[in-house]
Amino acid sequence: MFIVVGRAQSGLTAHRLNDDGSAAGDPERVGDLGAFVRSVETFPASEVRWVWDDTARWYPRLLEAGLRVARCHDLRLCHAILRDSARVNAPVEGGAGAWSSAEQADDASGAGDEALFDLGDDVGRDDLATDRLTETVDELRRQLAAITSADEPGGLRLLLAAESAGALIAAEMRFAGLPWSSAVHDTALTELLGPRVGPGVRPQRMEVLASAIRATLEDPLLNPDSPQDVLRALRRTGAMVDSTRAWELRELDHPVVPPLLEYKKLSRLLAANGWAWMDAWVRDGRFRAEYLPGGVVTGRWAARGGGVLQLPKQVRSAVRADPGWKLVVADAAQLEPRVLAGLSGDTAMASAGHGVDMYAGIVAAGAVDTRQHAKIAMLGAMYGATSGESARLMPRLARAYPRAIAYVETAARAGERGEVVTSRLGRSSPRPGEGWLKTQRQASDPDATPADERRARSSARDWGRFTRNFVVQSSAAEWALCWMAELRGALAAIPRTDASLGLAGTGFADAPHLVYFLHDEVIVHTPEEHADRVAAILEESARRAGRLLFGEFPVDFPLGIGVVDHYGEAKG
DNA sequence: TCCGTGGTACTA
DNA sequence: AAACTAGTACCACGGA
C-alpha cells in the first residue's frame, strides 16, 4: 500500500494507491499531516509506504511532531537512480522536469516551507496553482513502470527501498544528533593549542612555533599560513621542494621541518575543528550535520555542515555517550574487497575472507608475502594503480584471483570506451561529459597530433579508473545501505525502556538509535542495558545485507565492534 | 569587498 | 615514492 502525500489546489492531500499504482480510493484532504500519519502509521511494523517528493522536506516535520515512519519511497532519489540505470528499458520520462533538477535538492535544505503543513493561506499563489499531488502520483506511476521494464527488477526494487530507507535514516540522525561533549573537546583543544583565543588570534602554542619557524628560516615577516611565503623561504635556504605538503616536508632534512609540521597540524585542527567550529555546530550536547543520501554519483552519501565525514581522529574523544548510555561503534572489515569477491563470484577470494582479516587470508593463501602487501595490492586493483609498489604487486593478485581482477579490469575497459557500468543492484555510472567525448573524437581525426592522441588516451584511462572503482564503491554503498536499513528496523523493534521519557514518540531519548554513518561504519547510541543486544543486531544486519546482495554466495561481512563511552576508544 | 582558484589536509 | 577512487572545507591570494 502506497500513500502519496502532496499539495493539491484544495490543500494538503493524501492518495492511497495499490502496489501496482492503481488508485485504492479517492484523494483525501488532510488538515494536519501529523494527525493523519498518526492515524495510519503503525511504526515500526507497517504495511504503508509513504510516497513524497523529497524526504528532507517532509520527514523532519514529522520527527518534530514525535512521529517516525517505517517505510517511504523518495521520488527525487529514486528518479535519479532510475533515470541513469542501464537496467531500465523504459526510461522514466515526462513530468515537469523538476525531478531531475537540482532545485529540489536545494529546496530540501531550506528550513521554512510552512506551506507543506498548512496550505490554507497559500491557495491561489502562482506556484501552487499547479496540482502537485497529481504530478506526484504520476511520477510514482512512471517510476513503477520503469521498474517493471527493467532487467532484474528485484535488485532495483531493493536498491530503491534501501535508498529511501537511507533518506529516513539521514533525517533521523540529524534529528537525534551526535552526542558531543564540548567540555572534552575544549580540554583537548586547550592542551594542544593553549588557552582559548578569539577568532583571528593565533593560539599561544602556534605563536611559539611561528616564532621558531621565522627564526630558523631567518625571515622575521614570514607568514606560516601562506604556502607561497613558506615555499619561497624554504627555497632560499636551498631546500629542494616543490610544495609545502606535509609528506614532502617529511622527506626533507632541515631544522625547520619539525616546527613547521607541528604548526601545520595545529593550524588544521584550529581551522577545521577548533573553538569556532564548536560554537557553530554543537548545541545542547549534540553535533547536528546534514547528511545527503545519494549525494555522490556512486551512491555514497555526501554531507554538509561541520565536515561530519572528515571528523579527525584527534577530536573523536569528544563524541561521548550520555550518562547511562553507550556508543556501539561498528565498521565492516575490508568491505570493498569482500564486495568485489561477491560481485565477481570469485570463490577463492571469498574464502580468503572467511576470517575476520581478509588481508591475512590472502597472505595465508600464498598470493602475497605480507598483510601490508595484500592491502596495497588490493587497493591498487580497485583504484587502478599504474605505478609504484601497488602496480607491481597487482599481477600476483591477478594470478591468485583471476575472476575478481577480471571483473574490475572489464569495468575499466568499458569506461575507457565511454560506456556505462552498473552496480550490483542497478545504479549506473554517469556518462562521460561532452569535453571527454570531444577529446576522444579529436584523437580519431585523421589530422590528430600525437599530443591529441596522448590526451585522449590519458583521459580515457582516467575515466576507466573511475568506472573500475565505481562498480566496487557503488556496490559497497548498497551493502552499507542494506545494513543500515536492516539495523534500523531491528533497533526499532527493541522494547522501549521507559516510554514516559520525553520525545517518547520517536524513541530517540530512551531507545537505541543510529547517530553516525561513514561509508562502512556506524555508531549506535544506546541505553547501556541494550548495548550487547545492539552489537548482536549489528552482526545479524550485516549477514542479512550480504544475503540481500549476494544470495547464498559464501562471502562474509565480519564487523569490528566496540562498546565504548567515547568514539576515541574505538579502533579506527 | 566579493568571488573564483589553488593549495592543503582530513575522511573511507 | 608520492600516484591511484570518492568527498568537504578551510585559508591565502589575486582579479574584478
pLDDT tens column, A317-358: 999 999 999 999 999 999 999 999 999 999 999 999 999 999
Three-state secondary structure call for residue A15: strand
Q: Which of A114-123, A226-235, A295-304, A479-488 comes out lowest in average pLDDT?
A: A114-123
Q: Please, which positions of strand B sit below 7 A from a protein CB?
A: 7-12
Strands (E), A140-216: 178-179
pLDDT score of A357:
95
pLDDT score of A497:
62
Q: What are A455-472's pLDDT values in tens digits?
A: 899 999 999 999 999 999
Task: Spell out a b/e string for A182-195, using b for 16 or more CB atoms within 10 Å of the CB, else e.
Answer: bebbeebbeebbbe
Q: Quote the CA–CA distance of A468 and A411 in Å, as a whole number.
A: 5
Q: Quote the CA–CA distance of A542 and A548 in Å, as a whole number.
A: 10
Q: Using a 7 A cutoff on CB, list residues near strand B.
A: A 227, 231, 243-247, 264-265, 268, 272, 309-313, 331, 335, 518-521, 572
Count the neighbouring beta carbons within 10 Å of the beta carbon of residue A174: 22
pLDDT score of A120:
37
Q: Quote the CA–CA distance of A391 and A383 in Å, as a whole number.
A: 10
A219 touches strand C (CB under 7 A): no
Q: Quote the CA–CA distance of A508 and A501 in Å, as a whole number.
A: 10
Handedness of CA A343, A345, A346, A352 (dihedral sign): positive
Q: Please, which positions of strand C sit below 7 A from a protein CB?
A: 1-14
Q: Quote the CA–CA distance of A432 and A411 in Å, as a whole number.
A: 14
Protein residue closest via CA to C1' of C1: A388
Question: Which residues are CB-neighbours of A559 under 8 A, at least 6 positions away?
Answer: A330, A331, A332, A333, A538, A539, A542
pLDDT score of A165:
97
- Name the CATH code of domain A336-473 (choices 1.10.520, 1.10.150, 2.60.120, 1.10.287): 1.10.150
Q: Which nucleotide is at minimal CA–C1' distance from A247?
A: C2
Q: Quote the CA–CA distance of A304 and A296 in Å, as a whole number.
A: 12
Cβ pair A350, A554 in contact under 8 A: yes
Nearest to A519 by CA among A332, A351, A241, A387: A332
Higher pLDDT, A92 or A328: A328
Q: Mean of the pLDDT values across residues A23-42?
A: 93
Handedness of CA A457, A459, A465, A470 (dihedral sign): negative
Cβ pair A538, A520 in contact under 8 A: no
CATH class for the domain made up of A288-335+477-569: alpha beta
pLDDT score of A572:
64
Cβ pair A300, A556 in contact under 8 A: no
Question: Which residues are CB-neighbours of A572 under 8 A, at least 6 positions away?
Answer: A313, A316, A331
Q: Quote the CA–CA distance of A515 and A178 in Å, as a whole number.
A: 5
Write the CA distances from A505 to A32, A62, A333, A361, A499, integer angstroms: 17, 11, 35, 46, 8
Q: Residue A415: is its pLDDT beyond 70?
A: yes
A205 touches strand C (CB under 7 A): no
Three-state secondary structure call for residue A121: helix
Residue range A183-278, CATH number: 1.20.1060
Q: Mean of the pLDDT values across residues A412-437?
A: 95
**Which H or E element spans position A3?**
strand A2-8
Protein residue closest via CA to C1' of C4: A385
A18 touches strand C (CB under 7 A): no
Q: Quote the CA–CA distance of A7 and A29 in Å, as a whole number.
A: 9
Q: How far is the CA of A551 from the C1' of B8 (A)?
A: 44
A319 touches strand C (CB under 7 A): no
Q: Please, what is the Cα angle at A409 between A406 and A411, to 5 degrees?
A: 110
Percent residues over pLDDT 90 in chain A: 81
Q: How far is the CA of A226 from the C1' of C14 (A)?
A: 14
A12 backbone φψ class: left, alpha, beta (φ>0; ψ -120 to 50): beta
Q: Mean of the pLDDT values across residues A380-393?
A: 90
